[in-house]
Amino acid sequence: MDLRKLLRPSSIAVIGANDKNGFGKSTCVNLLNSPLKDHIYFVNPGREQVFGKKCYDKIANVPEKIDMCVIILNKKLVPQAIEEAAQAGCQAAVVYASGYGETGDRESEEALRELCRKHDMAVMGTNCAGFINNLDGIFAFGMLVNREPQAGNIAIISQSGKICLNMMQIRHMNYSYLISSGNSTCIHVEDYLEYLIHDEETKVIGLYLEGIKDPEKFTRVMALAARKRKPIVVMKVGKTAKGSALAASHTGSLAGSDKAFHAVMQKFGAIRVDDIEELAEMCHLLSVIPMLPPKPSLCAMCLSGGETGICADMGTLMGLAYPEPAPETAQKLKELLPGYATVANPLDMSATLAHDGARYAQVIQAFMDDPAVGLVICGQTVLQHHEVQDVIYPMSDGMVMAAREKKKPIVVMSFFNSSRDEVIRQKLESEGVPILPATGGGFKLLKYLMDFVNYDPDAHTLELAIPNPTGKQRIALSERESKQELKKYGVKIPEEYVAADLEQLEKLDIQFPAAAKIVSPDILHKSDVGGVKLNIQNLEELKAAFGEVMDNAKRHCPDARIDGVLINRMLPPGVEFIVGVNSDPQFGPMVLCGLGGVFVEVFQDAALYPVPLGREEALGMIRSLKGYKLLAGYRGGKEGDVEALAELVVQIAAYAAANKDTLAELDINPVFVYPKGEGAAIADALIVKLQ
């Protein structure tokens, strides 16, 4: 399957060409305006001409070998059209027709897929709007595009054709490709991603996603992008139950768990944004800046104290770093600024320098030379129209002078949203200086950017344990069985015993205080049925607890299989965490780590991450928790053994990866984390398997 034949064809046939309002007319008009117009052919046996261009009765009679065809026919006629195109040597097609998987007609979809495999044809669609290739000026697109081709370095893949059209209408954004993938019947989103990751004309890839079809290939291409450091900006619907349902009905894709998807994006360093506006603006930012910041830190220079205060607050609230100016930087700034200005970061430089472009450039350069600064923000609202006497002209002169040094990125932060003066925009962006939206959105984009800068692909295991489950019945292991399974993967299990009756109990060498818990694969929540007794001080109390636990279990769960009572020495108290696993149907096991015990439901402070994972990834999960402060010596308390908790997370991830096809759930709660150097211990464990 050759995507180049699809996306960069030398000749195109439009099968079903017509001049009726809709996809037919729009496609014909779009392609007739193409530089390739002499190699565009219309096929329609019922018409002699369309828009003055000759129509052929069949593709086989076109006087040139066709690379790609656009099929503007209803669903019933599509298979015959593909068959005839393939017989004529065509290797790619765009199919607009709908009514396939998105409406539940899997049979027609699979038949079309099989036909494409048979002829090794790259078929875009079904239920798509086609594509725009600005590199060659080819608009094989079913909606009328009122814009001349202008090649850029942003590629957009969208499972919505209308979003492609809307993106194309943003005049200050220039694209290499806009691809409406539709149902992805034959070519999946993952295939387009792979093509674009290798495409040297594309600097950043924007992805509007409703679901994916091939998790294994998705994993491989995301790993490829991570290693190449090619940014992928993702906006995925399905965060809510209603969004997931709409996504499934629209594309026939499995939306999957949003939290799991977000964790996968973090693992591979993709930039996940919250809405379509952020998708456009983030792609634009990455497309314009000439290089990534060398460090995830910034400075801001503004003309007023009010603007400076806004930058200080907004940046800090986003978790962005404003390093103090180095001594040599401070000295340079003192020489450049008026005597009443105070050197700081963010910097209130006063309005004086706004009228002196050269001096303004020197202030930018002073910050750019500071080794602690990664990016320079120039605070100034760019309005819809400016007169040449406005301060933005000398300021933009200074920005251009500094930007030509190509040392570090420079961005303009506006304080109000409006249309931007196109003369100023083009002047700045031609030198690699983007104009950001107002501070609320602008600083959020910078946070995304700095997170991408912080991402180190070498510190991540760029793979997933994609499951291939064969069983459907959920079988729970007892606490004893669960712990013994985990022990095989290096998890330290406190010494414990199982007694089936009082005679066995009296022979055990028990250390007190002790705990007694019912052992049954049918009783998952032991405390709820009175199946747990804690702080047992001696043998007599243990005998009484044994009888009580057994009686409670039999009374509340008369049909449960009971193996006895698990007895172990009470663990000393520590900071309570939970470590668990849930298995996502697409991406496989996800390790969860968070505050445990009663805090699980109260604070819901947990991090989720795909397996497998390494030590640094486990530490990253733990440090991301709000509850991490409890392990970091909060208010003079002892530091917790973070390394021991991370080791446990890695061990659990290894178990989950090795059992990806059979593991449904795993729950260890609580995990007691002790002071630094004293380790961690698990008090309970539950494994649920599929068979």
How does pLDDT run across 501-519, given as a tens digit for each residue? Answer: 999 998 898 999 999 999 9
Average per-residue pLDDT in the chain? 93
User: Same domain, yes or no, for 394 and 500?
Assistant: no
| CA atoms within 13 A of residue 311's CA, in its CB half-sphere | 30
Bridging pattern class, strands 232-236 and 271-272: parallel
Cα–Cα distance measured from residue 556 to residue 529, given in angstroms and rounded to the nearest whole number: 6
The answer to whether residue 685 sits within a structural domain is yes
- Of 63-72, 217-226, 496-505, least confident by mean pLDDT is 496-505
CATH of the domain at 296: 3.40.50.261
Residue 637, pLDDT score? 80
Instruction: Give percent above pLDDT 70 in the chain.
Output: 97
Helix (H/G/I), strand (E/B), else coil: 95: strand
Which of 309-318, 467-476, 571-580, 663-672 has the largest mean confidence?
Answer: 309-318
Instruction: Provide CB contacts within 8 A for 615, sequence distance 6+.
Output: 646, 647, 650
Cα–Cα distance measured from residue 563 to residue 521, given in angstroms and rounded to the nearest whole number: 9
User: pLDDT tier at 93 (50, 70, 90 boundaries)?
Assistant: very high
Does the structure show a pLDDT above 90 at 524?
no
Q: Hey, what are 129's tokens?
A: 């709007």
Residue 241, pLDDT score? 57
Instruction: Give percent above pLDDT 90 in the chain.
Output: 82
Residue 570, pLDDT score? 92
User: pLDDT tier at 250 (50, 70, 90 boundaries)?
Assistant: very low
Residue 255, pLDDT score? 32
Residue 57, pLDDT score? 96
Helix (H/G/I), strand (E/B), else coil: 470: coil
Residue 619, pLDDT score? 97
396: nearest Cα among 424, 415, 416: 424
Q: Hey, what are 187's tokens?
A: 């070519």
Supply the DSSP symbol for 125: -
User: Same domain, yes or no, for 423 and 559?
Assistant: no
User: Same domain, yes or no, for 307 and 425?
Assistant: yes
369: nearest Cα among 336, 402, 393, 400: 402
- Residue by residue, DSSP assigns 255-296 as ---HHHHHHHHHHTT-EE-SSHHHHHHHHHHHHHSSS--SSS
Does the structure show a pLDDT above 70 at 626?
yes
The answer to whether residue 476 sits within a structural domain is no
Strand stretches in 440-526, DSSP E: 474-476, 496-499, 514-519
Among residues 397, 431, 459, the one where a domain terminates is: 459
Alpha carbon 466 to its chain centroid, in Å, reads 17
How does pLDDT run across 449-496, given as a tens digit for each residue? Answer: 999 999 999 999 999 999 998 888 989 898 899 999 999 999 999 899
Q: Hey, what are 546's tokens?
A: 């044994």
Does the structure show a pLDDT above 80 at 603?
no
Cα–Cα distance measured from residue 204 to residue 206, given in angstroms and rounded to the nearest whole number: 7
The answer to whether residue 263 sits within a structural domain is yes
User: Same domain, yes or no, for 582 and 551?
Assistant: no
494: nearest Cα among 690, 241, 683: 683
- CA torsion 610-612-613-614 (nearest 10°) is 180
40: nearest Cα among 60, 13, 67: 13
Q: What does each C-alpha distance from 424 to 150, 210, 381, 393 come to in angstroms? A: 19, 37, 11, 8
Average pLDDT in the 259-270 region?
A: 95
Average pLDDT in the 538-550 region?
A: 94
Give me the amino acid identity at 684: D
As beta bridge partners, residue 639 has 632
**Domain range holding 208?**
3-287
- CA torsion 278-283-284-286 (nearest 10°) is 120
Residue 596, pLDDT score? 85
How does pLDDT run across 21-56, given as a tens digit for each residue? Answer: 999 999 999 999 999 999 999 999 999 999 999 999
User: Same domain, yes or no, for 449 and 305?
Assistant: yes
Does the structure show a pLDDT above 90 at 146?
no
Length in residues, the chain: 691
User: Same domain, yes or no, for 170 and 89?
Assistant: yes
What is the chain's Cα-based Rg? 31
User: pLDDT tier at 598 (50, 70, 90 boundaries)?
Assistant: low
Residue 625, pLDDT score? 93
User: Same domain, yes or no, for 349 and 268?
Assistant: no
Average pLDDT in the 254-267 region?
A: 80
User: pLDDT tier at 599 (50, 70, 90 boundaries)?
Assistant: low
User: pLDDT tier at 604 (50, 70, 90 boundaries)?
Assistant: confident
User: Same domain, yes or no, for 375 and 510?
Assistant: no
Structural domain tally of the chain? 4
Among residues 243, 270, 287, the one where a domain terminates is: 287
User: Same domain, yes or no, for 384 and 502?
Assistant: no
The answer to whether residue 471 sits within a structural domain is no
User: Same domain, yes or no, for 56 and 153?
Assistant: yes
- CA torsion 417-422-428-433 (nearest 10°) is 40
The answer to whether residue 388 sits within a structural domain is yes
Among residues 400, 433, 459, the one where a domain terminates is: 459
Q: What does each C-alpha distance from 457 to 265, 268, 293 come to in angstroms? A: 12, 7, 17
Does the structure show a pLDDT above 70 at 252?
no
CATH of the domain at 536: 3.30.1490.20
Cα–Cα distance measured from residue 245 to residue 185, given in angstroms and rounded to the nearest whole number: 19
pTM of the model: 0.92
Task: Give residue 191's region: left, alpha or beta (phi > 0; psi -120 to 50).
Answer: alpha
Q: Is 153:287 a contact under the CB 8 Å cutoff? A: yes
Residue 268, pLDDT score? 98
User: Same domain, yes or no, for 104 and 50?
Assistant: yes
The answer to whether residue 472 sits within a structural domain is no
Residue 659, pLDDT score? 97
Give me the amino acid identity at 329: T
Does the structure show a pLDDT above 70 at 589?
yes
Does the structure show a pLDDT above 60 at 245?
no
User: Same domain, yes or no, for 256 and 155?
Assistant: yes
Q: What does each C-alpha distance from 87 to 83, 234, 416, 682 come to in angstroms? A: 6, 38, 58, 65
- Of 55-69, 376-390, 447-461, 601-615, least confident by mean pLDDT is 601-615
Q: What does the longest C-alpha to C-alpha distance in the chain come to?
A: 101
Average pLDDT in the 372-376 region?
A: 98
CATH of the domain at 619: 3.30.470.20
The answer to whether residue 237 sits within a structural domain is yes
The answer to whether residue 485 sits within a structural domain is no
Instruction: Provide CB contacts within 8 A for 519, sequence distance 6+.
Output: 478, 479, 480, 498, 562, 563, 564, 565, 566
Q: What does each C-alpha distance from 82 to 77, 78, 111, 143, 585 come to in angstroms? A: 9, 6, 12, 22, 34
